[in-house]
Amino acid sequence: MRQGFYQKIATTGIRNNRKMYLPYMCITGMFVMIYYIMHYLSDMEYPAGMRGISILRTTMPMACEIVAMFSLIFLFYISTFLLRKRSREFGLYRILGMDKGNLCRIMFHEQLFSGLISIAGGIFCGILCSKLAEMLLYQMFQQPVSYAFHIPWTAVCSTAAIYAAIQLVLLIKAMWIVRRSNPLILFSGSRTGEKPPKANWLLAIAGILILATAYYMAVTIENPLSAFTKFFIAVLLVIIATYLLFIAGSVAFCKLLQKNKRFYYHQKHFVPVSSMVYRMKRNGAGLASICILSTIVLVTVSCISCLYFGTEKEVRDMYPYDMELDLIANDLNIPEIQEKLETQFSAYEDQITDETSFFSAQTVGVIDHHILTIPEEMDWTLSADHIRAIVVLSTEDYTKLTGEQVSLQPQECLLYPSGTSYPYDTLIIANGATYTVKEVLQQFHSDFSVDSVVAVIASFILVVPDLDTFCAPFEGMESRLGNPLVPVYWEYAFNLTCDHNKQIQLSAQMKQEIEQLLPEDTTFSWTSYAEELEDSQGANASLFFIGGLVTLVFFCATVLIIYYKQISEGYEDERNFAIMQRIGMKKTEIHQAIRTQMRMVFLLPVLFAGIHMLFAFGFTSKILILFGVFDTSYMALVTFFSFIGFAILYTIIYRITTESYYQIVSAAH
């Protein structure tokens, strides 16, 4: 046969099946466009001193790999829908005399044409949108925008090569399936349904138990570090449980509905429920995929939104004062240093306000019931449940920080457990004293950052009558690194009346003056709220921008799965509904049955995604603490509105695709 013959059949096949191919090529083109933009931004030359850009440079290449890998997996999955729809057509070609080699040539040209259009269109759109993405990124970083336009050919070539390789993998898969099939199977492929599956109660119950385990892990987690390590285990459990529940549990649920005669033998329910049972095993896998992708979108959007839109509050929670000096005071004459600082900073007295200072002992220990051991060398391989960050305050400094007056007898203490609990009446300090816990504090409100310093791991804040008495047993003891075993920190802070730009200038100047005042080799930490805010804004803008692009990929995948599911179901159901109409079922009744089926099927994924997200909040709220987000109510509000926004978009997609389903079904009668 002539080469032009295959090309004509391929183009005709794409044109006649445009309802299937057009969305496929559009989504592929969008993946190409997003990959190109990310590659373009990761290779850009950014202005020197652009804060937070290092995070973008580090994470953007990884995000590119994620998009490429997801594109391969997703398009590999979606190509099954296309093959299933075209199988009857290919079977007819075989019956008419074409061999498998002829079919492979047709498929080669179809893949070539659709791939070229998708890749070329995606790169073209990527080039057009790359400058807009760059301008948006600069705006988020609060940097002046450059209007110079260029096309990095390395990004073009890399994008074309990656997605050409993906198209080759898809072609090999399609050819392999065709070569292993016989004409009759191909001819009946799009009409072949699955036998009604039996209710597998064992898998359904296993799904419930696995999901309950993941949910229990989420609601009982207290330690942010434990949350980070256990999160991926819980995610794996949720994915497994979701597939089990949607595949086996949904069938079992439909069987229960069929046993309910009052519900099942109803004009609105009989057709959709019986149809669901007939093919639910395959439907369940698709619905589970929609649910998992929806959950990924929701969790990602809520987390990056919390970080980006709450940046200023996050940094202020971490650094309540504009300037903070933190140094180890064990071997220093702090009154003398403080006097020198106040004298030196007298030049800024018209700008300095709210000066304050306090002492605290800070270390890390191992807790075993009510016994706290402070080792010379911490074994970080221990479970995070046994490691505690320890901050010790005197009653005097506690009153200074919180404004609360407390009175403690010798060997008494107040204890605030952060990210954990403490059920005992005493606390034994190994090599130290034994304290009676007068009160376990339920909250610790301070105008200083003590609580945020220790929030990243489970912590104890102890309030004791006298800090020197607490530290006395450890005097002269050193860790393996040569530092004091229980270092005492002096923290000095103040606010400034000038704007942020001036504060950044003063910060560098003050730091130099402090270095000259302190004894040689003194280790200290100097932080500026304005500098930390700029760094955090840049870092969070990077995460928000990258997370937004990756989320767009997942959201588009969710939309396409929903669309193809509706289309494939429509083609499978058109014959059944045509028979129903011939035996007397009205079009209005068919439309009502379709709506009932769609509501029963397609609202389940978003409902389960919402439940997953609700329980995942136990993990995400703890993990966000590691990034400086401490306000749980703010996290909950952002999570709620993220779900509402997604639910609205999901409903719109549901209505549009349901109409496509109805048009296909209606065309049969």
Q: pLDDT by residue (tens digit) across 281-317?
A: 556 777 788 889 899 999 999 999 998 898 888 888 7
| Whole-angstrom distance, CA of residue 530 vs CA of residue 526 | 12
Q: How far apart are CA 320 and CA 309, in angstroms?
A: 18
Q: What is the pLDDT, as a whole number, of residue 452? A: 46
pLDDT bin (cut points 50, 70, 90) of residue 386 is confident
Residue 515 lies in a domain: no
Whether 508 is in a domain gets the answer: no
The verdict on 171 and 160 lying in the same domain is yes
Lowest mean pLDDT among 85-99, 308-322, 570-584: 570-584
Mean pLDDT over residues 110-135, rounded? Answer: 90
Give Cα separations from 196 to 7, 269, 600 (angstroms).
40, 17, 18
More confident residue, 220 or 456: 220
Out of 37-46, 84-93, 155-164, 331-340, least confident range: 84-93
In a domain, 68, yes or no: yes
Most confident range (mean pLDDT) of 278-282, 386-390, 481-485 is 386-390
Q: How confident is the model at residue 145, as a pLDDT?
A: 74
| Least confident stretch, 92-96, 216-220, 241-245 | 92-96
Q: Which of 442-446, 538-542, 605-609, 610-614 has the lowest mean pLDDT?
A: 442-446
Same structural domain, 170 and 27:
yes
Query: Over 70: is that where the pLDDT of 122 sits?
Result: yes
Between strands 524-528 and 434-440, the pairing is unpaired
pLDDT for 587 equals: 62
Q: What is the pLDDT of residue 572?
A: 66
N-to-C CA span, the chain: 38
Confidence of residue 277 (pLDDT cuts 50, 70, 90): low
Instruction: For residues 253 and 104, state if they share a domain.
Output: no
Q: How does strand 488-496 pair with strand 323-328?
A: antiparallel
Rounded CA gap, 76 and 72, in Å? 6
| Structural domains of the chain, count | 3
> 422 with 546, same domain?
no
The pLDDT of residue 270: 59
Of residues 54 and 250, more confidence is placed in 54
As a dihedral over the C-alpha atoms of residue 66, residue 68, residue 73, residue 78, rounded to 10 degrees, the angle is 130
pLDDT-derived band of residue 427, with 50, 70 and 90 as boundaries? very high
- Model confidence at 644, pLDDT cuts 50, 70, 90, reads very high
Q: Which of 50-59, 441-450, 541-550 has the lowest mean pLDDT?
A: 441-450
pLDDT of residue 190: 47
pLDDT the model gives residue 453: 45
Q: State the helix-helix crossing angle for 587-625 and 201-220, rounded to 10 degrees.
A: 40
Q: Decide: helix, strand or coil at residue 123.
A: helix
Cα separation, 181 vs 190, in Å, equals: 13
Average pLDDT, the chain: 81
465 and 571 share one domain: no
Other CB atoms within 10 A of residue 512 CB: 11
Residue 395 pLDDT greater than 90, yes or no? yes
- 314 with 368, same domain? no
Residue 416: strand pairing partners: 461
Q: Distance (Å, rounded) from C-alpha 238 to C-alpha 226? A: 18
Averaged pLDDT, 265-285: 61
pLDDT at 414: 93
Helix axes 224-244, 201-220, angle to 10 degrees: 160
Name the residue among 455, 491, 497 with its Cα closest to residue 322: 497
Residue 97 has what pLDDT?
Answer: 67
- Full domain range(s) for residue 412: 352-496
Strand, coil or helix: what is 483? coil
d(CA 493, CA 485): 25
Same domain, 244 and 309: yes
pLDDT band, very low/low/confident/very high, at 583 (cuts 50, 70, 90):
low
pLDDT computed for residue 451 by the predictor: 45
Last residue of a domain, one of 192, 211, 241: 192
Written as six digits, the tokens of 649 are 């978009």
Distance of CA 586 to the CA centre of its chain: 47
Report H helices in 408-488.
450-453, 467-471
Would residue 75 count as lying in a domain?
Answer: yes
Residue 277 lies in a domain: yes
**What sign does the CA torsion over 121, 125, 130, 131 have?**
positive
- Give the integer Cα–Cα distance in Å for 179 and 83: 13
Pair (167, 213) in one structural domain: no
Q: Which residues pair with 373 in a beta bridge?
A: 366
Q: Rounded mean pLDDT of 89-96?
A: 68
Q: Is 318 within the bounds of a domain?
A: yes
Helix H or strand E segment including 524: strand 524-528
Task: Examine the fold and report which residue of 157, 192, 227 is the final residue of a domain before the chain moves on.
Answer: 192
331-335, 449-453, 470-474, 606-610, range with the lowest pLDDT? 449-453
Q: How far is CA 86 from the centre of its chain?
A: 37
Q: What angle do CA 194, 195, 200 make, to 5 degrees?
A: 105
Q: What is the maximum span of the chain, computed from C-alpha positions, in angstroms?
A: 100
* Predicted structure pTM score: 0.77
Based on the fold, state whether residues 173 and 199 are members of the same structural domain: no
Cα separation, 91 vs 97, in Å, equals: 10
- Is 433 part of any domain? yes
Q: Are residues 150 and 67 in the same domain?
A: yes
Among 61-70, 82-91, 369-378, which stretch is predicted with the lowest mean pLDDT?
82-91
Are 4 and 137 contained in the same domain? yes
Residue 1: which residues within 8 A CB-CB, separation 6 or more?
A: 102
Q: How far is CA 557 from the centre of its chain?
A: 16
Calculate mean pLDDT across residues 514-520: 84
The dihedrals phi and psi of 584, each to the nearest 5 degrees, come to 120, 0
> How far is 184 from 150, CA to CA, in rounded Å?
54
* In a domain? residue 335: no
Q: Which of 162, 192, 222 finishes a domain?
A: 192
Give the residue with greater pLDDT, 132 vs 574.
Answer: 132
Compute the C-alpha angle 146/152/156, nearest 5°.
135
Q: Say whether pLDDT at 20 is over 60.
A: yes
Query: What phi and psi values does residue 362 have, to the nearest 5 degrees?
Result: -135, 130
- 472 with 541, same domain: the answer is no
Question: H or E stretch including 356?
Answer: strand 352-368
Taking alpha carbons only, the member of 422, 420, 428, 424 closest to residue 459 is 420
Residue type, 143: Q
